[in-house]
Structure formats: structure tokens, C-alpha cells
Amino acid sequence: MENTTSNILKTGFIINEKWVILEFIAKGGMGEVYRAHQLELKRDVAIKVISQSWLESLDDEAEKETGLQRFRREVQAMAKVQHPNVITVHDYGATVIHQNNKEIPIEFIVMEYLPGGTLRSTMDREGFYPDETISREWLRNYFLPVIDGIRALHEAGIIHRDLKPENIFMDGSSPKIADFGLVRSKWSKPVTRSMAVFGSPIYMAPEQFFDLKWANEQADIYSLGKMLYEAVEGATAAKSHPLKSVYLNSVESSFFKAIDQIVRGATAEDKENRIDSVNRLHEYISRCLKDEKKEPFFKVLSGGSRTKSLQRRKWKMAIAGVMAMFVLMATVGFYSPGIIENNQAGSAAFEPFAQESTFIEQQPVIHPQIQPPAGQNTDTFHQLNDIDGTVGLSCEPGC
């Protein structure tokens, strides 16, 4: 457990004569979370406050107020959704604590306490492949309920923007979505001042990395696609490809071919080519679990001649072997393992349950330096600190 000497709340502290702090749980980019006991109802709860060390790191009072606005927006978003796969908010309040002869005002969220770990505990670090039975069980018991929770958020006009296994807590065998620190809601007033926000580049959509306010519901779909990819391929593979489209390295069975198509559709770098809603994502996975004979689920359609040329290359590769592979590398471009580069001509879309598909053999080479999507402001790029941790973004007015 982290050293608690810098934590704002100490064990035994009583908030507003209602909640007694039992222990420190964790600290994130902006918040500190504690386990507390609600005296009147005799139940344990989780209490989240803004980290004082984070507030002290900000340059001026205006930035601190922006941080508090974002915290309040998290409460408002969480309180609007009642769903078995979304964590429940019990209360919100403010108090003043005395520390080092100073009065420190704090605001806090009181949530249900879920001691069962996170979705990470249901995943195998090495990935489920090639075990189809375990993969199906995980999809049915854990991943589809997560999609149900995200669907409830989207129907309420809320985009999470920070989905990852560590932000999904387990209530027994039921996953519950938490940590709404980066949510965007149609009811919330925009945070109008630039500030640094945090997220994980492993699961973050490219458009969100370069400009947070570009992230819509499809940013959550990208994150879900990356989580599905990690569940099948393993944590090491997922960490190797931040901000990129991915595919399964081996697809021998019809089931994993279908999952591969879903992963490709969910993690398309250009959101215009991405699966457009969690309803569709849920439908595709549900049909995959029902052993549908029509597979794969998608075929790439193009406004130009790309699809036909890819089909011709595939045919040539089948009869010409090495020569056709050379043609593919020379004409299509280079692909790194697990990456689908967005160098298609024209606009592409995914057609569900196509009778045929275009499978592209990928060639392992180094992918080019990541560039922001067309039309996005490169000034919003701040820095990528560590693909295992968090990343700083510059959030422009309105995000």
C-alpha cells in the first residue's frame, strides 16, 4: 500500500458525523479513494476526494477551480445512471479538515464499496487464445455486461473516455463501471479552461489523445475493442500498440476469426471506419457466441478500388507465394504485428455478417511515427510519458 503520510484523510477521521475513515485504498491522477463506514446505516462505502497533492501541483486558483468542476461533473454523471453494471453513488458533500494549522476545504463522493478487485482479475495475462471455451465464458459473463453498462451511459448522454480493466470493479461476479473522472455529458457545462487530464494510451482512441473534445461514444468503443484484444492476446501484446488499430495474430477457428473481425472494427484508428455504436458491438459479440454460421462478421467496403485490389493480391499470393507477398509489401505498405495502418483510399465501412471477407496478410515491420488525425490541432499534443501508465493531454475549452 502507498505511503499515507501525504493523504488528505487519516484513519479514524469522521466526515460530517456520518462516515468514519477506515483505510486508504488507492490514489489516481486526480483523486484519493478510501474505505469508510457509514455510521447510521452500518455499511462500508467508498469515499473519493480530490488529491491535495494534485491540486497543489496546479499553477493558479483558476486551474484548481477547473479541477473541482471536473470532479463535480463526475458526480452528476454517475448520479444520472442506475444500472446493475454501473457503480452506485450514495451521496456527495463538502467539509473542512484541519491539517498543519490550516483549514482545508474538501469535496467528496460517497459510492458503494466493492472489495472484489477489478476486471483485470478475470483476465489471463497471457491471453485466453487458443482456449475457445474460456474466451466464450469471459465474453458472456464479463464483457457483455460491461457493454451493457456502457450502453446505459451512452443512452444517458454520457461518454466515459477512460475505460480500462482497472476502472471496472467486480461486485462478486458482476462487473461495475467506475471512475468517471473524464466523463463528458450532454447536460454538463463544458470545462472552459485548458488543463491537463489523464488517461491510459493503451486503451485510448487516437482522436482522444490528440484532442479530448473530439472523443465521442466511439472513443469508448475503441477502448472496449482494446480490452477485448488484450483478453485474447494478452497484456504484453496490448501494451505494444498504444493508439493503434489491432488484430489477432492467429485466427485458426471460425470463432476467433469472428472475434478478430470485431477487434478490427472496434479499434479502427479512423472513427469513421469504426463500429458506430455499443448496440452493434453487443450484437456482433452475441451472434458470435451463438455459433452463427455466417462468418466473418465484416467485410471492408471502399469508395475506390482498394477492396478489389486486395482480393487480387490475396489470390496472387495464394498461387505465387513469395512473389505475391513481395507485391503486397511493395504496394500495400508495411504493417507491424497487431497493427492495421489506416492508409486506405476513400471511406471504408463495416458491413455486418458479410458472406465473404477480405483477409489481409500482415507483414511485421516497424510502423511510422504516430501523427495526429487530419484536421486536428497538433498543439494539443502534450506528451506520452509511459505506455504502462498515464498520459498528459492538453484539454482545450469545451472538453
Which of the residues are catalytic? 162
How far CA 174 is from CA of 25, 83, 226, 287, 313, in Å, comes to: 21, 12, 20, 22, 46
Compute the distance between CA of residue 218 and CA of residue 226 in angstroms, rounded to an integer.
12
Q: How far apart are CA 89 and CA 75, in angstroms?
A: 8
DSSP line for 112-124: E---S-BGGGGS-
Collect all residues with Cβ–Cβ distance below 8 Å to 226 and sequence separation of at least 6: 202, 203, 238, 246, 266, 267
Longest dimension (CA), the chain: 81
DSSP code, position 273:
G
What is the Cα–Cα distance from 26 to 22, expressed in whole angstroms? 13
Q: Shortest CA distance to 199 belongs to which of 231, 156, 166? A: 166
Give the integer Cα–Cα distance in Å for 156 and 117: 27
Contact 213, 396 (CB under 8 A): yes
Residue 67 burial (CB < 10 Å; 0-12/13-18/19+)? Answer: buried
Instruction: Give the list of residues 6+ apart from residue 45 with CB closer than 8 angstroms, or none.
Output: 19, 35, 36, 37, 38, 90, 110, 111, 112, 113
